[in-house]
């Protein structure tokens, strides 16, 4: 069994975050999330939940089996890889751990996805912006105006400040690369089967609830960190970020996503939430924040700046932690 000390874990998570700042998500077919996703699809076909659709309890049982299998394999494979690398040489173990932790973090990738929406919006190319919005959200994008396209991008950055940064960072800090990869498997399951539609209402139920549990504490830590981050920009209000969390977070259908979204809305002084359309059907989401002005493309940049400030705070925290335990 590989046990890293707090000193080592501080360095590994700090190094992983620095790698992500510089490299981002590697565009190669062996990215672990790709393989986790392939396993989920293969396992879903093998379990064949559609054959049991008349028996919701059975379908839920199959969904539980899918979750347990995916998490066990993701954690076990990552543990074996780190153990093997460490057995060859401890520094190889460190390198493997830092690299794979970095693949569970996506600060640079999230920024790049958001800027792909911002850049054409800033140049008046709305159709191009709609295309890139479609890459990051599940809602219909064909009729989005500039405000709605900007809102979609800001909401994505806000919500994923938890999923793509704070949560994997915290789990890596607790249990290194194996636990960070287990979290990434949880998040991938939720993104693939954790829907409340007819197909996945029962089969994805356990995956969605598992994601809620894993993100519960990180989401609340993120709310605090976004509030602190707003203090470093005169254009933002830390006070309103905190007030917005208290007033609006509980109105979101997710027990976690409402916290970062309401924090960003309050900090920037805009309104998030509202009407979204999925497959032609309108869905009303709780509105969060007090709009001091009309939401615009530039707010995407402000949301990305908040994301990066949170990552800087995390990095400073592990460096400080390293000095304390050294």
> Running along the chain, 326 residues long, what does each successive block of 10 average in pLDDT?
83 97 79 92 92 90 97 97 95 96 96 96 94 88 90 96 98 97 97 87 95 98 98 96 97 94 97 83 85 94 98 97 88
Q: What is the pLDDT of residue 1?
A: 46
Go through the chain and tell me how many residues it has: 326
Q: What is the pLDDT of residue 29?
A: 63
Q: What is the pLDDT of residue 130?
A: 94
- Do residues 94 and 8 make contact, with C-beta atoms less than 8 angstroms apart? yes
φ/ψ bin of 269: left (φ > 0), alpha (ψ from -120 to 50), beta (otherwise): left
- Do residues 13 and 96 make contact, with C-beta atoms less than 8 angstroms apart? no
Helix-then-strand count for the chain, H and E = 12, 2
Domain residue spans in the chain? 6-325
Entry pTM: 0.94
Q: What is the pLDDT of residue 171?
A: 98
Q: What is the pLDDT of residue 301?
A: 97
């Amino acid at each position: 069994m590989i046990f890293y000390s707090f000193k080592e874990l501080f360095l590994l998570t700090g190094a992983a975050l620095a790698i992500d700042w510089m490299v981002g998500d590697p565009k190669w077919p062996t990215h672990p999330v790709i393989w986790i996703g392939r396993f989920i699809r293969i396992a879903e076909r093998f379990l064949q939940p559609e054959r049991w659709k008349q028996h919701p309890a059975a379908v839920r049982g199959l969904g539980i089996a899918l979750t347990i299998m995916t998490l066990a394999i993701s954690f076990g494979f990552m543990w074996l890889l780190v153990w093997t690398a460490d057995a060859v040489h401890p520094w190889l173990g460190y390198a493997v751990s830092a690299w794979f932790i970095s693949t569970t973090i996506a600060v640079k990738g999230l920024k790049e996805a958001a800027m792909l929406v911002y850049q054409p919006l800033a140049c008046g190319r709305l159709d191009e912006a709609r295309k890139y919005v479609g890459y990051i959200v599940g809602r219909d994008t064909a009729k989005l105006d500039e405000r709605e396209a900007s809102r979609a991008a800001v909401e994505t950055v806000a919500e994923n400040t938890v999923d793509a940064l704070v949560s994997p960072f915290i789990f890596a800090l607790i249990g290194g690369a194996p636990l960070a990869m287990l979290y990434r498997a949880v998040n991938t399951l939720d993104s693939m089967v954790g829907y409340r539609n007819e197909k996945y209402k029962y089969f994805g139920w356990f995956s969605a609830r598992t994601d809620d549990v894993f993100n519960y504490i990180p989401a609340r830590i993120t709310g605090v960190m976004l509030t602190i981050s707003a203090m470093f920009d005169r254009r933002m209000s830390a006070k309103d970020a905190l007030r917005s969390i208290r007033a609006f977070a509980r109105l979101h259908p997710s027990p976690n996503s409402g916290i970062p979204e309401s924090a960003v809305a309050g900090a920037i002084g805009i309104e998030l939430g509202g009407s979204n359309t999925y497959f032609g059907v309108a869905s009303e989401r709780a509105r969060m924040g007090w709009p001091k002005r009309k939401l615009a493309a530039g707010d995407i940049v402000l949301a990305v700046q908040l994301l990066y400030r949170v990552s800087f705070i995390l990095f400073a925290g592990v460096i400080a932690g390293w000095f304390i335990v050294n």
